[in-house]
């Protein structure tokens, strides 16, 4: 996508339908903050948007190092936006390392804004440049705006008496100001944000605000090269109502609180720090006024165990981690399966195996979620498709966990967790509560009594007189709940546990097509955060008259009861995934269909055009 360039060519008075901007700099340059500020201003402006924070695992890599480059990408437009964009129209590069590592994503003719003061010999060498790219003509295919930002910023903030270090740090706000000018955004929210952030250090607030204003003024007053002037990206036509931005992590934390309220249960959230899942622990720890107790456990195992203990005692236990941590929790999750206690396990997936790529995204824990336990244990798995969806998915996961007294694994990923998008704020009064009923009658009580329909085991919480009972990991007699090593009983209990989980398929929505017909030439089947890229690619192909549909599976286990029939209605099925082909094998195994795998496992989300060309190739083969 090259909206900026297209606009120039067609002479549309610089009105463009969508733009991708990427801010890149040292991990200490404040690029995430810059991106978030720009996002807020863009949301207020009324564009639809999606963002992609792309940062390294190193907290503060040596200045100027390529591996320390932190980037924030935003795609905003006047039409529906579901990904952070394939190609970059405007690249803001705060140093040579940021330029060399991000230039490949820029469209020919795209705009580069650089801080020329950062292009010192030392920084150039550290980034691997033999010559200065600002001077050797290697950027001729692009439009270059080379500004001595650092020097200007230091001059601008001089009146506030900051040290050189703090003064130079204001350069991200200067750049933000310039970018705000370029796209006609209001500086108000950013300025208000700085006042709040530096409430105790007014001189820092003033300096940063001055830097924003100076960057903006530079755009307004300086004679810039031809073609670099204000672009208008008209507001998107979106549903009326009240909006906010949310990341997946935030939406998930709200969803967990909401789910607890709808189930009429207090939440005990127990977790252990791990990237990129820790945000959920941070978010919920700051919400003590709600019925949520958070617990930073000594390790992953303790976290899940504390959650299980809490569920035994009558709260809803929730634990959260990323792939490696979920592996550690596996034994305890099986205990929750065996004792049939509700439990929510959130997995914010990251690049693996092992430590892998902690800050990058991947969908490689589907097998672990569906199959990754000892014993014959089946449990529901549910995945969020984007940041906003995390809210509803959390509620749905809690509904299932509490109704069926089972652990549920909720899959998010590093992309969804960190990416923000506008959210039409829901009204909690419109959600149907699903209050949990605890047993309280000693008459005929057995800890393995079940709801005849859902097969859910009775939940009797300690503190209830007359219902004293013991549960545990040893197989239980299906009638009395006492320890039983009887072989027929084990068969029976295994069957019951399996039937209970299988039966959930009848209590979830039927699978529909997110886009396109419910039969036809081709279905593109996805799950999780590939939603945006699949959706846009299918949309584009359909605009060209191709018969292709998008099916996105939220309930990965058990799967919707009509999924097999639905998929059988297409001549071809392709399954794009950010792994080496996990869902595709589950679909083949469950429905004996010929599904084609299309995978990417680079730590980055799919680009729209990657999926699009796969669709076109498959449909070409059908002719």
Partner 1 sequence: MNAPVKLNFKDYATDQEVRWCPGCGDYAILKTVQKLMPGLGTAKENTVFVSGIGCSSRFPYYMNTYGFHTIHGRAPAIATGVKLANPELDVWLITGDGDGLSIGGNHMLHVLRRNIDLNILLFNNEIYGLTKGQYSPTSKVGTRSPSTPDGSVDLPLNPCTFAIGAGAKFVARSIDTDMKHLTSVLTRAHQYSGASFVEIFQNCPVYNDEIFEDIKNKKTAPDARLELAHGLPMIFGKSRDKGIRLNTQALKLEIVTLGEDGVTEADVLVHDESNRVMAQMLVELKGPEYPVAVGIIYNAPTSAYISDVYSQRLTVRETSGPADLNTLLRSGHTWAVD
Question: Do 454 and 500 meet the contact criterion of CB atoms below 8 Å apart?
Answer: yes
Range 508-527, binding partner 1 (CB under 8 A):
none
Q: Is residue 25 within a helix (H) or strand (E), and if so which, with residue range? A: strand 18-26
**Min separation Cβ 288 and partner 1, Å:** 4
Residue 503 binds partner 1 (CB under 8 A): no
Instruction: Considering the complex, state which of residue 109 and residue 473 has its C-beta at the smaller distance from partner 1.
Output: 473
Hey, what are 393's tokens? Answer: 């998915």
**Min separation Cβ 467 and partner 1, Å:** 7
Interface stretch with partner 1, choices 68-76, 291-299, 381-389, 602-610 (CB under 8 A): 291-299
Interface stretch with partner 1, choices 49-57, 145-153, 308-316, 557-565 (CB under 8 A): 308-316
**Preceding amide of 558 cis, omega within 30:** yes
CA separation for the pair 262, 117 (Å, rounded): 55
The residue from 28, 473, 564, 603 that contacts partner 1 (CB under 8 A) is 473
- Which are the contacts of 537, defined by CB distance < 8 A and separation ≥ 6? 524, 608, 609, 610, 611, 612, 615
Residue 468 binds partner 1 (CB under 8 A): yes
For the chain, give the number of residues.
623
**Min separation Cβ 361 and partner 1, Å:** 25
The residue from 57, 154, 238, 328 that contacts partner 1 (CB under 8 A) is 238
Residue corresponding to tokens 């580069």: 112
Instruction: Considering the complex, state which of residue 150 and residue 245 has its C-beta at the smaller distance from partner 1.
Output: 245
Q: 175-199: b or e for each residue (b if 16 or more CB lie within 10 Å)?
A: bbbbbbbbbebebebbbebbeeebe
Interface stretch with partner 1, choices 11-19, 75-83, 304-312, 561-569 (CB under 8 A): 304-312
Per-residue HEC secondary structure of 283-342 comes to HHHCCCCCCEEEEECCCHHHHHHHHHHHHHCCCEEEEEECHHHHHHHHHHHHHHHHHCCC
Residue 256 binds partner 1 (CB under 8 A): no
CA separation for the pair 435, 422 (Å, rounded): 30
- Which are the contacts of 497, defined by CB distance < 8 A and separation ≥ 6? 337, 340, 376, 377, 378
Residue 328 binds partner 1 (CB under 8 A): no
Instruction: Considering the complex, state which of residue 419 and residue 551 has its C-beta at the smaller distance from partner 1.
Output: 419
Interface stretch with partner 1, choices 14-22, 151-159, 266-274, 506-514 (CB under 8 A): 266-274
The residue from 160, 295, 404, 557 that contacts partner 1 (CB under 8 A) is 295
Of 74, 69, 38, residue with least CA distance to 56: 69
- x/- binding map, residues 43-72, to partner 1, per CB under 8 A? xx-x--------------------------
Instruction: Considering the complex, state which of residue 2 and residue 294 has its C-beta at the smaller distance from partner 1.
Output: 294
- Which are the contacts of 195, defined by CB distance < 8 A and separation ≥ 6? 205, 209
Binding site for partner 1 (CB under 8 A): 40, 43-44, 46, 189, 238-245, 254, 257-258, 261, 266, 268, 270, 287-291, 293, 295, 297-299, 301-303, 305-315, 317, 331-332, 335, 339, 425-429, 461-474, 482-483
């Amino acid at each position: 996508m090259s909206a900026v360039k297209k606009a120039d060519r067609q002479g549309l008075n610089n009105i463009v339908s969508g733009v991708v901007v990427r801010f890149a700099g040292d991990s200490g340059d404040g690029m995430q903050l810059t991106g978030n500020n720009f996002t807020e201003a863009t949301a207020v402006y009324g564009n639809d948007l999606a963002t992609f924070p792309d940062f390294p695992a190193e907290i503060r890599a040596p200045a100027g190092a390529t591996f320390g480059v932190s980037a924030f990408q935003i795609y905003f437009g006047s039409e529906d936006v579901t990904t952070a964009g394939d190609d970059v129209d405007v690249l803001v590069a705060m140093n040579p390392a940021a330029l060399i590592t991000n230039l490949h994503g820029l469209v020919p003719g795209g705009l580069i804004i650089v801080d020329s003061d950062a292009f010192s010999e030392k920084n150039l060498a550290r980034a691997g440049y033999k010559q200065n790219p600002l001077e050797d003509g290697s950027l001729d295919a692009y439009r270059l705006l080379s500004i001595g930002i650092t020097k200007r910023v230091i001059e601008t903030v001089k009146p506030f008496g900051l040290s050189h270090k703090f003064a130079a740090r204001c350069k991200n706000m200067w750049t933000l100001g310039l970018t705000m000018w370029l796209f006609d955004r209001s500086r108000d929210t950013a300025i208000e944000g700085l006042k709040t952030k530096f409430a105790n250090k007014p001189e820092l607030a003033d300096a940063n605000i001055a830097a924003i204003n100076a960057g903006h003024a530079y755009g307004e007053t300086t004679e810039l090269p031809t073609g670099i002037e204000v672009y208008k990206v008209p507001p998107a036509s979106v549903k009326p109502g009240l909006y906010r931005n949310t990341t997946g992590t935030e939406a998930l934390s709200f969803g967990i609180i909401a789910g607890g309220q709808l189930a009429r249960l207090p939440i005990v959230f127990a977790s252990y720090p791990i990237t990129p899942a820790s945000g959920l622990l941070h978010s919920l720890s700051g919400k003590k006024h709600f019925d949520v107790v958070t617990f930073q456990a000594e390790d992953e195992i303790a976290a899940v165990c504390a959650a299980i203990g809490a569920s035994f005692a009558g709260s809803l236990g929730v634990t959260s981690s990323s792939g490696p941590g979920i592996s550690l929790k596996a034994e305890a999750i099986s205990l929750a399966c065996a004792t049939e206690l509700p439990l929510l396990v959130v997995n914010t997936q990251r690049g693996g195996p092992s430590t892998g790529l902690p800050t990058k995204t991947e969908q490689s824990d589907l097998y672990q979620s569906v199959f990754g336990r000892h014993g014959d244990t089946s449990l529901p798995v549910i995945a969020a498709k984007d940041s906003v969806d995390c809210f509803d998915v959390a509620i749905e996961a809690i509904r299932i966990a509490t109704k069926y007294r089972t652990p549920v694994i909720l899959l998010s990923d590093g992309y969804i967790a960190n990416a923000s998008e506008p959210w039409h704020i829901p009204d909690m009064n419109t959600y149907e509560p699903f209050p949990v009923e605890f047993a309280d009658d000693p008459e005929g009580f057995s800890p393995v009594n079940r709801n005849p329909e859902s097969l859910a085991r009775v939940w009797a919480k300690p503190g209830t007189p007359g219902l004293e009972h013991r549960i545990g990991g040893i197989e239980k007699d299906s009638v009395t709940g006492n320890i039983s090593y009887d072989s027929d009983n084990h068969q029976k209990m295994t069957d019951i546990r399996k039937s209970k989980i299988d039966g959930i398929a009848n209590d979830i929505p039927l699978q529909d097509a997110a886009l396109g017909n419910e039969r036809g030439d081709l279905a593109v089947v996805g799950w999780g955060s590939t939603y945006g890229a699949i959706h846009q690619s299918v949309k584009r192909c359909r605009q060209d008259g191709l018969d292709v549909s998008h099916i996105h599976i939220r309930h990965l286990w058990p799967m919707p009861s009509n999924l097999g029939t639905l998929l059988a209605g297409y001549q071809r099925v392709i399954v794009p995934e950010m792994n080496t082909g996990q869902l595709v094998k589950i679909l083949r195994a469950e429905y004996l269909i010929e599904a084609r795998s299309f995978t990417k496992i680079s730590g980055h989300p799919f680009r729209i055009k990657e999926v699009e060309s796969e669709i076109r190739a498959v449909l070409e083969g059908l002719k």
